[in-house]
Chain A
Amino acid sequence: MEVTEEVVQHIAELAQLKVAASDLESLSAGMRNILELAGQMQSVNTEGVVPVSNPLDATQRLRTDEVTETDQHQLYQSMAPETEAGLYLVPRVVE
C-alpha cells in the first residue's frame, strides 16, 4: 500500500484535519512508518480466526432504561467556547 499525497489528503478529510502542504511529507512518512510495521501481519494466515473486540470476550451489558444522572447542562456548558440560550454556537451553516 503506497501512502501517496492524495491518500494522505483523503484520510485527512475523513479525520477532519487540515494538512498544510509543508506537513504533507512528514505526515506521509509518519503513516508509512506505522503501516510498514503493520505490514508484518500480512504474512500470517488468519483464516477462520475470530477477531477480538473485547479482551475478556465480554459483550455489552444492558441496564434498565431509567434516569440516573441529573441535568447539569449549565455546568457542562460553562467550559464551551461559545454558547447562547443553552445552545452551543458554531458558524452559520444555513443561510
Chain B
Amino acid sequence: MSDAIIQRTLAEQVRDLETGTYSSRELTEAYLGQINSRKSLNAFITVTGERAVEAAITADKRRATGEKSPLLGIPIAHKDIFCEYGVRTSAGSRMLDNFVSPYDATVVARLRDAGAISLGKTNMDEFAMGSSNESSFYGPVCNPWDTARVPGGSSGGSAVAVAAGLCSAATGTDTGGSIRQPASFCGITGLKPTYGRVSRWGMIAFASSLDQAGPMARSAEDCALLLTQMAGEDRRDSTSSAVSTEDYGASLDGSLKGLAIGICREFMDGLDSHVAGILEDCRKNLVDLGAEFKDVSLPNSHLAIPAYYIIAPAECSANLARYDGVRFGYRCESPENLEDLYQRSRSEGFGAEVKNRIMVGAFALSTGYYDAYYRKAQQIRRLIKQDFERAFSEVDMILGPTTPGSAFRIGEKVDDPKGLYLQDIYTAPANLAGLPALSMPAGFSESMPIGAQLIGNYFDEAKVLKVAHRYQQITDWHRQAPDIPGTVQ
C-alpha cells in the first residue's frame, strides 16, 4: 500500500483523499517512513514528523466534516530557506543553525492555508549559493538515481525528496537555476515563475532582484496546483506583482495548435550530443501536439554567467550584511570588542563559497569598481532582456536545454569552480530577464535524467505549464522513478 501511495502524483493524491482511498494520516506516515528509511540521501535538514502527523489527523477530521481546501491533507516539504514558525530555518548554514523562526514565510502560510502539511525542511546549498548541494553546512545530498552523484542545487534536497518518493511536491527557490537544474538532474518537474509572481516575504534573501520561489513536483499538473496556491500579490513584499493570478490547473488541457516555440541558436551551438538528441525528440513530440517551431537568437546569452556572477554576489553582499552576531544567528565565543564580534561571527558562521561571493560582491560595489563591474553587469542584463523581448515578438516560448549535461559526481567539480558556475549557463538568462521557466524530464543520458527547459514570456506560467502538461500526457519520462527496476533507459 505505502509503496503505491508515495508514488502517486500530487494531483492523484488530491483525488485519492477526496474519494477516501486512503487518509491524510496514512499518506503522511507513509512519507515519514520513507524519509526515515532513506536518511542516507541527506535530503532533509529537519523533519517535523510529530507536527505533520498532528496536522494530518486534523486534516482528516476537517475533511470528515465536509470541508474542502485545494490541498487539504497533502504532505509537502519546504526548502530550508522558507521561514516556518517554530521550526529551525537554517538556509543550509552554520550561521542559522540555531535560528528557530518566529514567523511564517508567505509561501509557507499560503500552502498551509490551502490545507498542505509540512513534513519538514529540505537540504540546500548554503544560502542557496551553489549548483551541487555540496556547500551545505549539513553535508552533501545524494542523487537517488546514483548516490555517488550530486542532485544539483541549490534546491537539491527538495528535488531529491520528490524524486526519491519522500513527498510528492516541495518548494524551491531559483536565483540562477536553483529549481530547474536540480529538477533536471533528479528527473522531476520544476518551475521558476516570473519575478514577483510569488512573494519573497520570509524567504531568506540571497539576490533580491533575481530570487523567486516556485514548485518542484513529479508533473507539470502538480506544479500548477501548487503555484495556484503560492502565487499572488503580498503587501509584505513590495516587489510582488499585482498582475492577477490564475487557476493554473484549469487551463492545462487543449491543443497546442498555432503555438510558436523558438529554438535558440546560441543554446544549441556546442551542446552535448546526448542533450541535443533528447531536445530533438522533445521537439518532435511537441510538433505532434500541434506546436510550430522556428529559430530565434539570443545573441547576448553567453554574457549571462559573467553578469550573473557580479549581480548575484553584489546583492548577496548587501543581504548578508544583516548576519552580525547581534540579533540572531551565530555569535563567536568571547569577542574582544564589537569589531571582533562582527568579524569572527561572520567568518566562523559562513562557509567558504558564501564568503567568496560576499567578497566578490563587496569588491564589485566598492569605490572605483562599481561602474566597471556592477553597472556594467546591469547594462548587460538589459541587453539580455531585450534579446528575449525580440524573441517573444516572434514566438510564444523557447525550448532549450536546462543543463549542459547530466548530474556529475560528488566532489568532481570541487576543484573546478568555473565549471560549477557554468552549470547555470542555460538557466541564468531567465533569472536576469525575470522570465518564467520550467524544467521537465525529457530523457536519460548514461542512465541519469536530463531535463528540457521551456522559457515563457512574462506571466505566461499557464502557457508554459500547459505545454509541459501536454508533453507529459504523451511521454512518461516524468513517471520514471529511481527505485523502480527496469525503468532506466
Contact = CB atoms under 8 A, between A and B. Distances in A.
Are A and B interaction partners?
yes
Interface of A: 1, 7-8, 11-12, 14-19, 26-27, 30-31, 33-42, 44, 46, 49-56, 58, 60-61, 63, 68, 72, 75-82, 88, 90-93
Nearest to B360: A34
Given A1-B369, A40-B303, A33 B458 contact: no
Interface stretch (B12-20, B176-184, B217-225, B331-339): B331-339
B380 interface: yes
Interface string B355-384: 111111111101001001101111111110
Given A37-B418, A44-B380, A30 B356 contact: yes
B195 A30 contact: no
B327 A53 contact: no
Contacts of A16: 321, 324, 339, 342-343, 346
B347 interface: yes
A40 to B, nearest CB: 4
B68 to A, nearest CB: 31
A69 B383 CA distance: 40
A30 B241 CA distance: 36
B303 A79 contact: no
B168 interface: no
A81 B325 contact: yes
A18 B385 contact: no
Main secondary structure of the interface of B (DSSP, over half): helix
A37 B305 contact: yes
B383 A55 contact: no
A56 B241 contact: yes
A58 B196 contact: yes
A76 B102 CA distance: 7
Interface of B: 98-100, 102, 194-196, 209-210, 235, 238-239, 241, 300, 302-303, 305-307, 309-310, 313, 317, 321, 324-328, 331, 335-344, 346-347, 350, 352-353, 355-364, 366, 369, 372-373, 375-383, 385, 417-418, 421, 431-434, 458
Which of A11, A19, A60, A93 has its CB near the most chain B CB atoms (within 10 A)? A11
Given A30-B359, A40-B306, A44-B383, A81 B343 contact: no
A52 B385 contact: yes
Nearest to B381: A52
Contacts of B339: 16
A54 B99 contact: no
A82 B402 CA distance: 46
Contacts of B381: 51-52, 55
Nearest to B458: A56
Contact of A14 (B302, B306, B366, B421): B366
Given A26-B352, A41-B376, A90 B239 contact: no
Contacts of A61: 238
B306 A41 contact: yes
Contact of A93 (B338, B346, B417): B338
A79 B101 CA distance: 9
18 contacts: A8-B359, A14-B366, A19-B347, A30-B417, A34-B309, A34-B313, A34-B360, A50-B382, A51-B379, A52-B209, A55-B210, A55-B432, A56-B434, A60-B238, A72-B102, A78-B102, A81-B325, A91-B337
Contacts of B362: 11, 14-15
B356 A11 contact: no
B347 A37 contact: no
Which of A50, A58, A78 has its CB near the most chain B CB atoms (within 10 A)? A58
A37 B380 contact: no
Contacts of A58: 196, 239, 241
Nearest to A89: B326
Nearest to A40: B306
A13 B325 CA distance: 16
Contact of A79 (B102, B361, B434): B102
B338 A31 contact: no
B317 to A, nearest CB: 6
| 9 closest Cβ pairs, A-B complex | A55-B434, A51-B378, A30-B356, A46-B379, A81-B331, A18-B343, A49-B379, A15-B362, A52-B381
B433 A15 contact: no
Contacts of A93: 337-338
B434 to A, nearest CB: 3
